[in-house]
Each structure stands twice: as structure tokens, then as C-alpha cells.
Amino acid sequence: MRRPGTFRTLLSCMTVTALSAGLAALTGGSALAAPDASSPAANPMPAHVAAPYFEAWTGESPAALAAASGNKYLTMAFLQTDAAGSCTAYWNGDTTQPIGKATFGSDIATIQARGGNVIPSFGGYTADTTGTELADSCTSVDAIAKVYKSLVTTYGVTRIDLDIEADSINNTAGVDRRNKAIAKVQSWAEHTGHRVQFSYTLPTFNTGLAASGVALLQNAVDNGARVDVVNIMTFDYWDGLTHDMAADTETAAAGLHDQLAALYPKKSSAKLWRMVGVTEMPGIDDFGPEETFTTQDAVTVKNWAVAKGINTLSFWALQRDNGGCVGTAGANSCSGIAQDTWYFSHTFAPFTRSAD
């Protein structure tokens, strides 16, 4: 996803291919130890969750907007370093917003007290094109893992999202460091009684991941890093065609399911669907009116997501969930279509539920 004034890179130059079947990622593990008493209480993620992205650089309160929109879970974007070469992550790459309870801590605690949680997200288009995505910037696997751990212990979050696109998805060294860090954090969590999941948010065609996305997941398998959710951005296809956005969400996810089957051959189809997430852009996306996700598309996608039993239903972004700029493409603060305020939130929020 993007920061203000930026766009995702063209996907049309990439070829979607499925890599050969790989080793299954490590799953199992011993009984949990007692959690670190210094960590905030952690609400486990539901088996099926609606978690729209919240643009964390706007100065708004995530807890206030979550309450107003009816969302229990938010994906908070983004964390990145302030400069390439750094191993210190900040919210929005802003050195005045370090990972600490003074930055969003009260908001996150309020959301958790309501029975929800937030999913901190690293990367995004700006970080992924400026060398400030954490694993691109930092060459120490241990230092990357330390940052991920700090989110768990500081805020009591139970999932971390990694939005990897543009230059980052092709940075093989960064991909490898990131996956090694994930594996380290998962081992730490198992031995300390913490809960932590990792999701990858990746660009997609309407037929599934590009080869670069599959290669990223293959590297995770090779490093023993468990990927809990693969969240595909089902918008900005950049092919110049007019899209049925709901139908293309379904075909993109079906393609992802088949690619995951090659990577995780021991998983059942139902378990593979439970690894799938989709993120929409409500209204007119930043490609233009040829890619318009309508209110009816939202109903269709939500019903499909329930039927398939996918893991995550999201959209970019919460601040766009209103009809304040009809006809405008890719705005940060409105959808560009006529809609009731919080229509997409109210449609997706009932998707959140525990295992069937």
C-alpha cells in the first residue's frame, strides 16, 4: 500500500509462476511457558478477522476511529526506519514516534480493552522504494528480530504484518533476512509464552501472485519461518482493463490458494484457505475508475470470504471509508463513490469471528 502522493509499481512486467513444491514450514511446538509478566495482556487473533488499514501518519486516534466505524481490529501502517542503513524502526519513519507506550500505546490499550487488537504493519510503498523497510535497511537478523519482539512486549500485539512490494519484493537479501528474523521471533515466542503471528501483504495479479511473491514465500519455507497469512492486495492491477473487482478478488485468491498448495503440500485445502487474506481499496482506486470497488462488491466479497473461510478481510484504508469526494480517484481521505460513512467497515466487520 502507499503513503500520500505515491503509487505502487507496475505489476504487468512480472510473470506469475508457481515454484515447485517446497518443504512445509514448521508448525508444532511445545506447551507455552508463562508469558513475560512485563508484557501487556495479549488478545489472540480470531480465526477470521476484519482489520482495515489505519493511516497512522494523519494524527488521528486509531481508538476513536475504530469506535466510530465499528471495527474491533485495525492494521496500523506503517513502521519503517528513518534512513537507509538504520536498524531502528519508527512509526511513519518519524524519529519522534518510536516504538513505545508513549506512541499509540494508550490507543492500542483502549482497543484491546474493547476485546480487539491492532496489527502493526512494516513497509508499504514509500519504505519499499527508499531502502527504509526494516529488513532492507538493517543487515542484522538479530536486530530485525529484536524490533519485532519489541512490538509484542510493548503493545501486546499478536500479529505483525509485512507489506512487501515494489523494490523490497525483489531484494533477495532483505527477503532472506526478514524470513530468518521471523523464524527467530517464532522460536522466542514459543519459549517465552508469547503469541505472535506474521502476515505478508503482497501485490497480486487477478490470477495470483507474481513469481517474486512466490519466491518470497519459498524463502520463508526454506528458512523455517511460519507464514500465518498471505494477504493479497486485490487492486491496482495496472493492466489498463476494466475490472469486476469482486470477481477478480475471487480469482486472485483462487490462484494464491493453488500457489500455496505447491508450497505447503501437506496442508488441506481448508487450511490453505485459512492462510488467505485479501485487501481491497474501496471506491475508485489509484489506478482509476476502471478499478472501482463498489458497495455491492463489498457485500459479494464478504459473503465469499465467509463461504471460503479465509483468514483476513481488509481494505485500504479506514480514513477512505466515506463518500466525501465523489468522482475522485485514489484519495487518502475518501472513497470517490457515493456511500454511507463507514459502509465498508459495517459490511466487513461481521466477518470477525473465531474458528467454526
Q: What is the CA radius of gyration of the chain?
A: 19
Burial label for 309, CB within 10 Å (0-12, 13-18, 19+), is middle
Angle (nearest 5°) at CA 306 between 112 and 24: 80
Q: Residue 20's pLDDT is what?
A: 30
Q: Residue 116's pLDDT is what?
A: 97
Q: Residue 2's pLDDT is what?
A: 59
Q: How far apart are CA 87 and CA 95, in angstroms?
A: 12
Predicted structure pTM score = 0.91
Q: Residue 139's pLDDT is what?
A: 98
Could you give the number of structural domains in the chain? 1
Q: Residue 156's pLDDT is what?
A: 97
Q: How far apart are CA 119 and CA 51, in angstroms?
A: 8
Identify whether 13 is part of a domain: no
Identify whether 298 is part of a domain: yes
Identify whether 179 is part of a domain: yes
Rounded to 10 degrees, the C-alpha dihedral 248/7/217/44 comes to -80
Rounded to 10 degrees, the C-alpha dihedral 153/119/262/14 comes to -120
Which residues are CB-contacts of 31 (< 8 A; sequence separation ≥ 6)? none
Burial label for 142, CB within 10 Å (0-12, 13-18, 19+), is exposed
Neighbours of 353 (CB within 10 A): 12
Identify whether 216 is part of a domain: yes
Cell 513502521 sits on residue: 79
Which CATH number does the domain housing residue 237 bear?
3.20.20.80
Retrieve residue 327's grid coordinates.
Answer: 468522482
Cell 456511500 sits on residue: 339
Q: Is the dihedral of CA 286, 316, 269, 227 positive or negative?
A: positive
**Residue 80: domain span:** 49-351
Identify whether 113 is part of a domain: yes
The residues of the chain scoring below 50 in pLDDT are 3-37
Identify whether 330 is part of a domain: yes
Q: Residue 42's pLDDT is what?
A: 74
Angle (nearest 5°) at CA 208 between 205 and 213: 90
Average pLDDT over the chain, rounded to whole?
A: 91
Residue type, 72: K
Q: How far apart are CA 27 and CA 7, in angstroms?
A: 36
pLDDT digits (tens, 9 = 90+) for 317-328: 999 999 999 999
DSSP string, 40-54: PP-PPPPSBEE--EE
Cα separation values, 278 from 22, 34, 251, 321, 349, Å: 23, 34, 11, 17, 14
Q: Residue 237's pLDDT is what?
A: 94
Identify whether 220 is part of a domain: yes
Task: Give the containing element (helix H, strand E) for 298.
Answer: helix 295-308
Identify whether 18 is part of a domain: no
Q: Residue 7's pLDDT is what?
A: 35
